[in-house]
A and B are shown apart, each in its own frame.
Chain A
Amino acid sequence: MSERLAANRFELDEEESHIHVDQALCRSTGTGAALVAVCPAGVYSERDGEILVDYAACLECGTCRAVAAPGALTWHYPRGGFGVTFREG
């Protein structure tokens, strides 16, 4: 998995993450488990009941946004010029 992502080009926004999770809502709504299941980049993982977010690997598809309960996830596109750059697409 990490090998495949390594082939991609990413411009990391060091100053701000475009993804934020509400830990309590992620737990109570089951959103946390759904995020881990659907993200093709492995951005989300769970440790000791907390959802960890590796936003640098995000492929910007928005699938996480689609499965999240209202309020459990704030997901936007990265700022202009940052994030993944596809050379094939």
Chain B
Amino acid sequence: MTEAVEPDFDVIVVGAGPAGSVAAYRLAQQGLSVVLIERGEAPGSKNLSGGVLYGRVLDQVFPGFADEAPVERRITRHVTTFLTPDSAVSLDFRSDRLAEPVNAVTVLRARFDPWLASKAEEAGVFLMAGVRVDALLTEPGPDGSPRVVGVRAGEDELRARVVVAADGVNSFLARDLGLRRTEPTNHLAVGVKTVLRLPRAVIEDRFGLTGGEGAAHAIVGDCTLGIGGGAFLYTNTESLSLGVVLRLDDLVRSGRTAIEVFEHLLEHPGLAPYLRDAQVTEYGSHLVAEGGAAMVGTIATHGMVVVGEAAGLTINSGLTVRGMDLAIGSAIAAADAIVEAVAAGDVTASGLAGYRRRLEAGFVLRDMATYGRAPKFLERTGMYGAYGELAADVFHGVFGLDTTPRRHLLGVARRALKESPVTVRQLISDGWAGVRAL
């Protein structure tokens, strides 16, 4: 195929988050010329996540990365809590098996993303920061649908054989081409987060940690005032990441504001022992796509692939919230498919079809399918109110010795269930749905 205009680069990558930087790195490593365009003044400056990276996939690109990269803590403790206004019932999993090999780490993106981008630069990627891409350059493609040939940023135009859209959950690039539909609000959530500074030793004492160990708390129930979603509390080296994730349909229906719910979380007595004397150092938010496999639209078209959150690759299973690992997995798949397509001289949608094939063969699209039912399950309302109350009543019945004669546990549970709005039928139905969805 002859090109009308000689491209400036083999590949333009838009967005220097984990998806963009890993794709750029891997492309450059395999000999392609790559420009990485980032709208923030530096990589990471526009990026925010809750903060847990399930990093095994990054070891495939940078073996032993956790020893070198600016990661915060290695998560060896996962606590899942049902919170009510005056009680908390938790499942606490801690294991040395999570420490070696490193399973998950907390990261602060303004520190972690620059490291990833610097790896790409070392591999020969040309980084352009502080530049917002305004539009795609397209020409009519082989089948009449547009073929992407580059990008426009202000007055400047850059051309490439392939564009990688790694421009995040809002992906204007994928939307402008009609690759992503408008998501229904029950598949979207807003994450609101603050970073709270605390001395290292105080964090380790409060969360029961030693050395570089970290804890990840997932909380449901009264922390969101019963709105679909949950809260998280993660330990960094010298700070905590505290946030809520609120499903947009439920938030709007509730008549409350995201700010109100976040303030309720900050002042919740159940969290007070962890947060005492902590200083707010930053406040941010992030839109979260939770639609599962249904949100993944077309991810390869003539001259362009879509990776990471831009492709709708996020999973909220209720227990784990994942984005960065899927972003990295998709970046590896996309880069290898692009190398193959450029070598074969066919960068049309069919030439780039190796991208989806790789995603389907690996964990990314398999996990998206496995947790395909999770969003629907998490819409069941008992999770956010009544179940926490029920569990707290059962345990209060066990531990609250008030000099009245004791009952067997089964009797305590029966009575708590009778007084709860939850029905046995609902419990069984939700339990079965949960087992199937998660």
Which chain A residues have a beta carbon within 8 Å of chain B's beta carbons?
A: 1, 3-5, 7-8, 11, 33-34, 36-42, 59-63, 65-67, 76-81, 83-89
Contacts and interface: CB of A to CB of B under 8 A. Distances in A.
B239 to A, nearest CB: 7
B48 interface: yes
A89 B183 contact: no
A42 B93 CA distance: 37
Given A4-B283, A59-B283, A89-B284, 18 more contacts: A5-B283, A8-B283, A40-B259, A41-B285, A42-B259, A63-B188, A66-B287, A67-B252, A78-B132, A80-B131, A85-B40, A86-B109, A86-B282, A87-B45, A88-B110, A88-B111, A89-B110, A89-B112
A61 B46 contact: no
Contact of B281 (A7, A37, A62, A67): A7
11 contacts: A1-B259, A11-B41, A39-B259, A40-B285, A63-B190, A66-B287, A80-B39, A85-B40, A87-B281, A89-B45, A89-B113
B285 A63 contact: yes
A75 B61 CA distance: 36
A86 B252 contact: no
Contacts of B287: 61-63, 66
Nearest to B188: A66
Interface residues of B, number: 50
Nearest to A59: B285
Contacts of A80: 39, 130-132, 153-154
Interface in B229-288: 239, 248, 251-252, 255-259, 262-263, 280-287
Interface in B98-141: 108-113, 130-132
A88 B282 contact: yes
Contacts of A60: 46
A60 B257 CA distance: 17
Contacts of A36: 257
A11 B45 CA distance: 12
Given A39-B258, A40-B258, A67-B248, A61 B286 contact: yes
Given A5-B283, A7-B283, A81-B41, A40 B49 contact: no
A4 B194 contact: yes
B172 interface: yes
B190 A40 contact: yes
Nearest to B246: A38
A86 B17 CA distance: 13
A37 B259 CA distance: 8
A84 B284 contact: yes
Interface-central residue, A11, A83, A86, by most chain B CB under 10 Å: A86
B298 interface: no
Closest 6 CB pairs of A and B: A89-B109, A89-B110, A4-B283, A62-B170, A40-B285, A80-B132
Contacts of A87: 45, 110, 281-282
Contact of B44 (A3, A4, A39, A89): A89
Contact of A38 (B48, B130, B190): B190
A38 B258 contact: yes
Contacts of B185: 66-67
Contacts of B257: 36-39
B262 A7 contact: no
A1 B258 CA distance: 11
B169 interface: yes
A38 B251 contact: yes
Nearest to A79: B132
